[in-house]
Structure formats: C-alpha cells, structure tokens
Structure 1
C-alpha cells in the first residue's frame, strides 16, 4: 500500500506534485539539492494552497494538512529510503535520470515503485541499466503544469509492470482527484502532449503567416475547438458530427495544414531574440513588468474555474 511518497525535485513541477499528494493525506518527502529552490519551496507551496482556499476549492484545514504532510530534504537517501512511491521531476536529461534511478535502486525498498514525470524521454532508455525486477516497478506518471490545477495524469501501461501494482498507482491518482490516462505505447510525448503540439504547430503557423492576429487565433481556439473539447473529446466530436463529414473535411484540408517537422520559425526567432514569454516580458504577447504578476494570477484563476467545471464532465 502506498503511504509515503518521495518527490525528487522541488522546482516548477515537483513542488506542485508534492502538495497535491500531501493535501490528500499522503506523507510526502520532498527532496531538492539546490538550497535556493529548497528554501523557497515551502512558501511557494503555501501560497498556491492559499490561492486554492481563496478560490473556494479547498478549505483552510486542507491547506494545513497539505503543509504538515510535507517534509523537505537535502539528502536523497533520507528522503527516499522509506518511500513506497518515488516520482522524479528533474530536468529532461537522459543521463541525469539514468543516474538518479541507479541511485534510487540502491537506496529504496525492493517494492518501491519508481516514476518519472517526463513525457519527452523514453522510459525504456531511462531504466535500461536497472535490474529486471526493478524495471518491472518503473513507470511514467506525467503531470501537466501547473500540476495542482490541471487534473490529467498520464500513466504508462507498457506491459512491464504487474497489473496489481499498476492498479494501486492508478487508484492513488484517483484518490488525489486526478483523471488518469492509461498510455499503452512507449512513444515520445505520451498522448496529451502529442495532441497539444499538433494543435500548437498549426496555431503558431497561422500566426507566422498572418492568417489572424495572435489575439484572434487564441480566441478562435478558446471559443471554438477547445470550448467543445473541454467536455467532449475529439473522437466523440467526430462521431457526433458524422465521420463522413469529417472524412471529406480532412481530405480537403490536410494538404493545406502545416506539416513541418521543426518548431515554427516565428517562435525560433522570438527565442533567439530573448523573447521567452511572460518570464522576459515579451513573447507572442507583451507583458509589461507592472502587469506580469496580475497576468499570471489571471491565468491561474481561469484554470481553477475550469478545474471546478471539470467535475461536471464525468
């Protein structure tokens, strides 16, 4: 039974993963080797939990539960040695993850399940150096950012793990109000990110050719496809519209869609110019310094409205 969870990395993803588990009653050992990140993590976690309280999604008691169930560590062995489930949220570097899993294999109990939050690296390569009995307890558990507001969790079901172990992890995520997606193939990007980036490729291309302003491209997405797809998945939408209609539309439209195998040049030019989005004040949109905090808060507020609404989708 999973009672104690070790989260490796307290950065962008790790701290949100940690307090999602902790506020649902699990003991979480949060390991972070970099002092500045480790020191900042508790206040960041409290701030995000307070945001959820202020928005009426959780109670003040939930906030205190979330805080009290997290213990910060600067020592990997101390954080992981008693964990039943370990999930790493480290930088997307294959060698780093291979070395980390090798360390964890020596530290953890034989029954501990290892998970990676990655979606861009192959699980089979990450765990190739582990003994077969440990490989059978390894999986991808991919969250979306921000981890505490977006309910998806993609769980690899590649055939390497006993069914009862997979089911225990699946039930862990359900208990934490996640919507787990079983991914059956070890493919780059898993499922959700492949869908996302296929959609993003066309959006970026439309902006690049000036088909519409960035504001109107985003408006078209929010109030068109995404409005409908929030409650109805793409395959069901096609069934509802008629597959004959979709077949004809796609035969007509696909030759005109972007099929580049590289990121669009407009985005590449922005990155090369140092325009990285809100963190630099300029991306596809402009974010003056005095408005950056407000823009970030507005973004999170829209997400929590959607999180509340998602309870009606089932």
Structure 2
C-alpha cells in the first residue's frame, strides 16, 4: 500500500505535486539540491493553500496541517530511503533522469514505485540503467500545471507494470481526487498535450493571418469549444452533433487549416524578440510588472471555481456504454 511519497524537484511542478498529496493526508518528502528553492516552495505552497481557504475549498486549519505533512531535504538518500512512491519532476534531460533513477534503484526499498512527470521522454529510455525487477515498478505520471488544482494525471500503461501494481497507482490518484488517463502507447506528448498543441497550432495560424485580434480569438475559444470541453469530451461532442456532420465539416475545413510540422514562425519571432509572455512582460498581451501577481491569482481563482464545479460532474460511464471495436 502506498502511504509515503517523495517528490524530487521543488520547482513549478514539483511543489504542486507535493502540495496535492499533502492536502489529502499523505506523508511527503520534497527534495531539491537548492535549499533556497525548497524554502521558496514552502512559501508558495502556503500562499496557494491560503487562496484555497479564501475560496472555501479547504478549511483554514488545513493550511498548517498540510504544511506539517511536507518535509524538505537536500540529501537524496534520506529523502527516499523509506518511501513507497517516488516522483521525479526534474528538468527534461534524458541523461539526468537516467542517472537519477539509477541512484533511486540503489537507495529505495525493493517495493518502491518510480514515476516520472515527463511528457516528452520515452519510458524505456529513462529506465535503461535500473534493474529488470525495478522496470516492472516504473511508470510515467504526467501532471498538468498547476498540479494542486488541475485534476488530470496521465498514467503510462505500456505493459511493463503488472496490472495489480498499476491499479494501486491508479487508486493512489483517485484518493487525491485526480482523474487518470490510461495512456496505451509510448508516444511524445502523451494525450492531453497533443490535443492542446492541435488547438494551439490553429490559434497561432489565425493570429498570423489576421483573422481576428488575440482577444477575440481567445474569446472564441473560451466561450465556444472550450466552454463545452470543460465538461464534455470531443468524442461525446461528435456523437451529440452527428458523425455525418463532423465528417462533412472536416472535409470542408481541414484542407484549408494549418498543417505545419513545426512551431509557428510568428511564435518563433516573438521568442527571438524576447517577448515570452508574462515572464518578460509581453507576449500576445502586455503585462505590467505590478499587475502580474493579480493576473496569476485570477487565473488560479478561475481554476478553483472549475475544480469545485467538477465535483458535480456525472461520469460518462453512468449514462452510456462505449462501443466495442
């Protein structure tokens, strides 16, 4: 049974993953080589928890209780030597991850399950340096940012892990109210990122051709497709609208839509100009330095509102059955 968690890397994703597990009662060790980064992570976690209190998502006493469940370390061996489940959220560098997992194979108990938050590196490559037995206990678990709010976690189901162990991992995520997606093929980007990139490609193309302003393009997405996507998947939407209609519209539109195989050149030009978005003060929109924290807070508040609403969502399996192949 999985009770003790370790999260390696206290950055954007790592701190949110640690926070999510701690919120739901798990004993969490958070590791980073940078002690200052660990201190900053705890401060950010506390701020995020207080925001959840303000939104009536958790009780005020939960802030202190959650923080007490997180212990920080700069020593890797001490971090993982008694853990049941270890998640790495370190930079997307294959050699770095390979060597990290090799160390974990030496430091961790024999039953410990290893997980990677990657969405771009192959599982088989990351576990090249670990023992054959441990390869049966390794999985990709890709979280979405911000980890403490976004309910999605993608889990690899590539045949290396026994079903009973996979179900144990699945149950772990269910216990912290995450929606899990079983990914059947070891493909770059997994599922959600590939869908997102498909939408982004057309959005950037529409801006490039001057079809509408950035604000109106975002509005079209937020109050059009994305409004339905908040509760209804694309395949459900297709069934509701009629496959014949979607087939006809696809024939008419897809041939005139962007089918480029690389990042949009307009996007590349903005990067070259240092227009990186909120982190630089300008991207498709402009951001005043003293307003950025407020913008981020509004974004988090909207996600919290959606998260609260999602608890009332009816699982599609309760109202229909999937058509077998």
Q: TM-score, normalised by structure 1?
A: 0.98
Q: Where do residues 1-314 of structure 1 align in structure 2 (5 Å cutoff)?
A: 1-314=1-314
Q: Supply the distance in 1 between the matched residues of 2:142 and 2:95 (Cα, whole angstroms).
A: 19
Q: What CA distance in whole angstroms lies between the structure 1 residues aligned with 2:8 and 2:269? A: 34
Deviation at 1:187, TM superposition (A): 0.6
Q: Deviations over 1:48-75 (max 9, x none)?
A: 1111111111112322221010000000
Deviation at 1:108, TM superposition (A): 0.5
What's the RMSD between the two structures over aligned residues? 0.8
Moved more, 121-130 or 20-29: 121-130
- Report how far residue 290 of structure 1 moved: 2.1
TM-score of the superposed pair, with normalisation by structure 2: 0.95
Shift of 1:189: 0.5
TM superposition shift of 1:220: 0.4
Aligned mates of 1:184, 1:129 — CA distance in 2: 23
What is the total number of aligned residue pairs between the two structures? Answer: 314
Runs of 4+ in 1 over 3 A off after TM superposition: none
Q: SS at 1:134's partner residue?
A: helix
For the residue of structure 1 that corresponds to 2:129, the secondary structure is coil
In 2: Cα distance, 1:4 partner to 1:293 partner: 33
Indicate the SS of the match to 1:153: strand
- Show CA shifts across 1:280-299 (max 9, x none): 11001100112111111111
Looking at structure 1, the residues matched to 105 and 179 of structure 2 have their Cα atoms a distance apart, in angstroms, of 29
The separation in 2 between residues aligned to 1:58 and 1:91, in whole angstroms, is: 31
SS at match of 1:13: helix
Measured after TM superposition, the shift of residue 36 of structure 1 is 2.2
In the TM superposition, what is the alpha-carbon distance from 1:208 to its structure 2 partner? 1.2
- d(CA) in 2 for partners of 1:208, 1:229: 25
8 Å contact 2:30–2:70 — kept in the other structure? yes
The 2-side partners of 1:275 and 1:36 are apart by 28
The C-alpha deviation readout for 1:18-60, integer Å capped at 9, x for no partner, is 0100111110000010122112111111111111111111112
Q: Give the secondary structure class of the aligned counterpart of 1:227.
A: helix
2:319 matched to which residue of 1? none
2-structure distance, mates of 1:123, 1:203: 31
Tell me the distance in 2 between the aligned counterparts of 1:227 and 1:313: 14
Q: What per-residue deviation string (whole Å, max 9, x for no partner) do you get for residues 112-156 of structure 1?
A: 000000101111111122221111100001100000111001111
Conserved? CA contact 2:99–2:129, under 8 Å: no
Q: Distance in 1 between matches of 2:41 and 2:50?
A: 14
CA distance in 1 between partners of 2:313 and 2:269 (Å): 39
Greater mean deviation of Cα atoms: 301-310 or 236-245 = 301-310
